[in-house]
Structure 1
Amino acid sequence: MTQTAPSSRRRSRLSARILRGGSEPDPRFTLANERTFLAWIRTSLALLAGGVAVEAFMGDLFSPELRKTVAALLLLLALVIGGGSFFRWLNVERSMRHKAPLPLPWIAPVLATGAAVVAVIVAAFVLATGA
């Protein structure tokens, strides 16, 4: 009989606690879930970079209030998407382990709504000022 290494026992306990049991899914599905998580993280980083860029480089084009509003919205959206992507990954992983239906993707509507709000604000500014 082989003994399990202490590190694998710790990982097993941690895995059981976080993922709440279930059976190991097909590795292809787990890896696809991880790739989706990383795509959401890349999107979050792009929004973060966009927020920083608006604040740093749009001083000549936008008024200070508008610049700070658009930058803050982009940074807030980056925070929500980045944080939400972990919970999305976790919930999908748990669903696959328990052979349950996948949870609804709430991150996509949040991203679409947030991007639309920022676009409406910028478009209204451009139309109002003729910039």
Structure 2
Amino acid sequence: MRWFETTLRVRFNEVDPWGVVWYANYFAYVEAARAELLDRFRLLPGELRRLGFTAPVIRVRADYKAPARFHDRLRVRLGLRPSEAAKLVFRFRIDREADAARIMEGETEQVLLRDGSILVYKLKGPLKERIEAMSRWFEGDVTA
């Protein structure tokens, strides 16, 4: 499986009084990577809305391994777990670039809703095509 990867630097406003990244900011890092990835496949929230869908996060799991600190450069990696259902399950890993220390890892799960409240069980049309293209990319299909 291929990973989507981006890097960022911890900013001063993201750390607590002890100089450690405040725990919820790690999710902002994951979200920044996910937005970058979804933009590539035209799956950002605005585009989903135009297609008549929303994709709320319904589950998050996170395991904190080591602290990140001000000015650390972090590598955020995302993987897409295959699913037969109409949902997006992203694995994520955050590592410090300087020493490759694992900072955090986990998973998010998003379901797809049509018209804001109707759970989608089977994908169709442009949304299906875009999600399948993203899945192929993670499987290593360079034509996707």
Both proteins in one fold, TM over 0.5: no
Q: Counting helix residues as a fraction of each chain, which structure ranks higher?
A: 1
Higher strand share: 2
